[in-house]
Chain A
Amino acid sequence: MIDFVIYSVTVIAIWSVLALSLNLQFGMTGLVNFGQILPFAIGSYAAGIAASFGYPWWIGVIGGLLFAPLLSLAVILPAQRLSQDYWALITLGAAEIFRLTMLNTPSLAGGADGLNVPRFGSPVLALCIALALLVVSFFFAERVSRSPFGRMLRVIREDEVLASTLGRNPIRYQASVSVAAWMMAAAAGITYGHFSGYVAPTSFTVTETFIIWTAVIVGGPGRNIGVVIGAAVIQLLGVSSRFVAQWVDLPSDLIANLRLAAFGLILVLMFIYRPQGLIAEKREAHNVDRD
């Protein structure tokens, strides 16, 4: 049982970092990233590829943390003249292109078989690293959220033209936040690679992006603590469905698909009844001297 708790908390911590990363992009800045799994995949593959070539683990860490933000700029800068709808399509496409590239380059990325990654020494070590990453990511996201930078991100989310008439170039803010958020997601991916011991294209499908989105929408876009809770709720629902599978006599693949259907239902219900999420974005109050 304790092993299961350690496993679950580790998974929740990793997915919370992904949710925080998406929250920086979507919740605060309004960037609709439908390829959020991409920087995560880059991190995992960096760990896997470094291991397969016999490099030490820190080469994979550096590779992932450099390549993900560079790719974010490569994706965002050509898209700067396009509207947000295209941003969604471009990120979705980029994530799929990366996954298919990994699937079709067996010599580099192991193809459909994936790559082995050295596991952390013990599950407790994995837990500690995942939690440490979560704490660092959380404080980073909070500092950004409460800062003048975070305020301008929200102005951009509400109205890009307003931000530019205030003398700000929205693309600079969108690019900075993407670089930071993609590094964060890549760090989660590297941790995940060493935690699961294995990376393969099937781990990085559009469905995974959809699950991160569900966590953010359920938790509360724009609110860091909310999206962490959202990630916890979604992951707990995910792992608990395995127990459900034991109790009810249904085939496991059906349960897996029902789980996705349940996430979809939750998403629809949240949009209708509580679009601000479980924990709504906070209204920053200032002590204003009225006299």
Chain B
Amino acid sequence: MLTATDLSLRFGGLKALDRVSIEAPPGMVTGLIGPNGSGKSTLLNVIGGVYVPNGGEVTLNGAPLPLGRPDKVAQKGVGRTFQIPKLAQRLTVFQNMLAGEPDHCGERISNLFFRPGRVAHQERAAAERSTSILKRLGMVHKANDLAGSLSGGQRKLLTMGMLLMADPAVMLLDEPAAGVNPVLIEQQVAFLKTLRDEGRIVILIEHNMDMIANVCDRVYVLDAGSVIASGTPAEIRSNETVIRSYLGQPAEAEDEP
């Protein structure tokens, strides 16, 4: 169980997060929705250790996650993707995948010279895993292309692949379906269900309401840095507050506060 309790974050005078609490149990997909600027990505950034909150805490299975240290959070088994995919653009797809290998002994200079056999062994194992993940994602034919040459949808797939290399217990996914073609979205929905069934904790930010309804077990709605509603996708769809602030309302009422 990943629990965020009373997270607050201010950027100057702006309250990006105002005492936000969420719970994400394993074996479920927890959705975060809300209008642009409502604090969804900021929340993932705080959980992922990129931003240090002004207050509140995040725990994973009862143990507090380090705040403001993305590397330590990742080492605790929390993986994430970004809304704008982060990739090493001038490295190939395959090298990006290999960079996802956790605890690579070949990333210590001394091992390169004194334990070359062990380094080569782990590198081979990582290459095999990368290949099988790329096959699963249907990207194996792109293995030696530069990551910077990929299309938007392929980039999202690649970041997902890098995440799978680390095999994290918690996955924070920021709009994996935005800008992805409908066929790939189908594939991603099936994929998210697999991740869920493997017993992972998945937190998903998405604007695609069909996808949210299809895969999420519980949804939190954020607006202006606060959680304004939570519940099953069906409950959320009929919630008056959510309809007013996010899902939409009759056009003539749009200018009302």
For the complex, give the distance between the alpha carbons of A189 and B99 in Å: 35
Among B105-113, B195-203, B249-257, the stretch in contact with A: B105-113
Q: Does A272 lie at the interface of the complex (its beta carbon under 8 Å from any beta carbon of B)?
A: no
Residues in A with CB closer than 8 Å to B82 are 165
For the complex, give the distance between the alpha carbons of A290 and B134 in Å: 9
Map CB proximity to A onto B124-151 as digits: 1 under 8 Å, 0 otherwise. 0001000100100000110110100000
Identify which of B70, B80, B89, B92 gathers the most chain A CB atoms within 10 Å of its CB: B70
The answer to whether residues A166 and B162 also contact, given A148-B104, A152-B99 and a CB cut-off of 8 A, is yes
Q: Looking at the complex, which one of A157, A166, A288 makes contact with B140 (CB distance below 8 Å)?
A: A288
Map CB proximity to B onto A106-148 as digits: 1 under 8 Å, 0 otherwise. 0000000000000000000000000000000000000110011
For window 199-253 of chain B, which residues contact chain A by CB distance below 8 Å?
Answer: none
The answer to whether residues A290 and B86 also contact, given A151-B98, A151-B99, A167-B102 and a CB cut-off of 8 A, is no
Identify which of B91, B94, B109, B143 gathers the most chain A CB atoms within 10 Å of its CB: B109
Query: Is there contact, CB below 8 Å, between A148 and B98?
Result: yes
Query: Is there contact, CB below 8 Å, between A168 and B131?
Result: no
The answer to whether residues A281 and B90 also contact, given A165-B80, A286-B144 and a CB cut-off of 8 A, is yes
Query: Is there contact, CB below 8 Å, between B48 and A158?
Result: no
Query: Is there contact, CB below 8 Å, between B109 and A176?
Result: yes
Residues in A with CB closer than 8 Å to B89 are 158
Q: Does A252 lie at the interface of the complex (its beta carbon under 8 Å from any beta carbon of B)?
A: no
Q: Count chain B residues whose beta carbon lies closer than 8 angstroms to a beta carbon of A.
A: 47
CB distance from B152 to the nearest CB of A (A): 17
Query: Is there contact, CB below 8 Å, between B88 and A158?
Result: yes
Residues in A with CB closer than 8 Å to B90 are 154, 158, 281
Query: Is there contact, CB below 8 Å, between B50 and A161?
Result: yes
CB distance from B53 to the nearest CB of A (A): 17
Q: Does A76 lie at the interface of the complex (its beta carbon under 8 Å from any beta carbon of B)?
A: no
CB distance from B112 to the nearest CB of A (A): 5
Among B5-13, B71-79, B184-192, the stretch in contact with A: B71-79
Query: Is there contact, CB below 8 Å, between A285 and B74?
Result: no
Closest chain B residue, CB of each to CB of A152: B107
Q: Does A84 lie at the interface of the complex (its beta carbon under 8 Å from any beta carbon of B)?
A: no
The answer to whether residues A165 and B144 also contact, given A286-B127, A289-B131 and a CB cut-off of 8 A, is no
Query: Is there contact, CB below 8 Å, between A285 and B92?
Result: yes
For the residues of A in contact with B, the DSSP-based class is helix
For the complex, give the distance between the alpha carbons of A169 and B74 in Å: 10
Q: Does A149 lie at the interface of the complex (its beta carbon under 8 Å from any beta carbon of B)?
A: yes
Q: Does A155 lie at the interface of the complex (its beta carbon under 8 Å from any beta carbon of B)?
A: yes
Residues in A with CB closer than 8 Å to B95 are 151, 154, 284, 286
Query: Is there contact, CB below 8 Å, between B94 and A286?
Result: yes
Q: Does B166 lie at the interface of the complex (its beta carbon under 8 Å from any beta carbon of A)?
A: yes
Q: Looking at the complex, which one of B49, B79, B112, B146 makes contact with A149 (CB distance below 8 Å)?
A: B112
For window 148-178 of chain B, which residues contact chain A by CB distance below 8 Å?
Answer: 162, 166
CB distance from B237 to the nearest CB of A (A): 32
Residues in B with CB closer than 8 Å to A169 are 71
CB distance from B79 to the nearest CB of A (A): 7
Query: Is there contact, CB below 8 Å, between A166 and B74?
Result: yes
Query: Is there contact, CB below 8 Å, between B144 and A164?
Result: no
Q: Does B52 lie at the interface of the complex (its beta carbon under 8 Å from any beta carbon of A)?
A: no
For window 251-291 of chain A, which residues contact chain B by CB distance below 8 Å?
Answer: 281, 283-286, 288-290
Query: Is there contact, CB below 8 Å, between B99 and A166?
Result: yes
For the complex, give the distance between the alpha carbons of A144 and B111 in Å: 11
Q: Looking at the complex, which one of B48, B106, B109, B141 makes contact with A180 (CB distance below 8 Å)?
A: B109
Q: Does B180 lie at the interface of the complex (its beta carbon under 8 Å from any beta carbon of A)?
A: no
For the complex, give the distance between the alpha carbons of A144 and B79 in Å: 27
Closest chain B residue, CB of each to CB of A276: B90
The answer to whether residues A143 and B88 also contact, given A167-B74, A288-B140, A288-B143 and a CB cut-off of 8 A, is no
Query: Is there contact, CB below 8 Å, between B86 and A162?
Result: yes
Can you offer 19 A-B residue contacts whose CB atoms are under 8 A? A144-B112, A148-B98, A149-B107, A151-B91, A152-B107, A155-B99, A158-B88, A161-B50, A162-B87, A162-B88, A164-B49, A165-B82, A166-B162, A281-B90, A283-B144, A286-B95, A286-B143, A288-B140, A290-B141
Given A143-B113, A173-B107, 7 extra CB contacts under 8 A? A158-B88, A164-B49, A168-B71, A169-B71, A170-B71, A285-B92, A286-B95
Identify the 3 closest CB pairs spanning chains A and B, nearest first.
A148-B106, A167-B74, A158-B88
Q: Hey, which bits of chain B sit against chain A, CB under 8 A?
A: 48-50, 69-71, 74-75, 79-80, 82, 86-92, 94-96, 98-104, 106-109, 112-113, 119, 122-123, 127, 131, 134, 140-141, 143-144, 146, 162, 166
Q: Hey, which bits of chain A sit against chain B, CB under 8 A?
A: 143-144, 147-149, 151-152, 154-155, 157-159, 161-170, 173, 176, 180, 281, 283-286, 288-290
